[in-house]
Amino acid sequence: MKKSCIKIKEIKNIRTLINDIKSGKIGWYGYQGKTILVGYRKGRDEEGRDSKQRTYWDRRKKGLCVKCGKKVSKKNPQTGKLYRLCDRHRKELDQKKI
């Protein structure tokens, strides 16, 4: 995160901050001259996923290779769902198995 794009929400009452934390809001808060970051714990979101997992699920949802983000066009004949890896990475994985 770049410092320049941080928007600090000035709060006068600590209750406001506590209420925001309880409702799952994130961001930078200014309180009594101090800056407080309210964010995901260890970079995790509300579902407990870290950034790596978020990328993984984001790509899976969009039908992209989870390793490189390339569009996956082939479906798994057994499940009828798109493969989670592109041709190249699927081949690499197959070779590792052998």
For Zn ion, the binding residues (CB under 5 A) are: 65, 67-68, 70, 86, 89
- Closest to Zn ion by CB, 49 or 84: 84
Which residue's CB is nearer to Zn ion, number 17 or number 64? 64
What end-to-end distance do the CA atoms of the chain give, in Å? 42
C-beta nearest to Zn ion: residue: 65
Between 9 and 70, whose beta carbon lies closer to Zn ion?
A: 70
Bridge pairing between strands 27-31 and 34-38: antiparallel
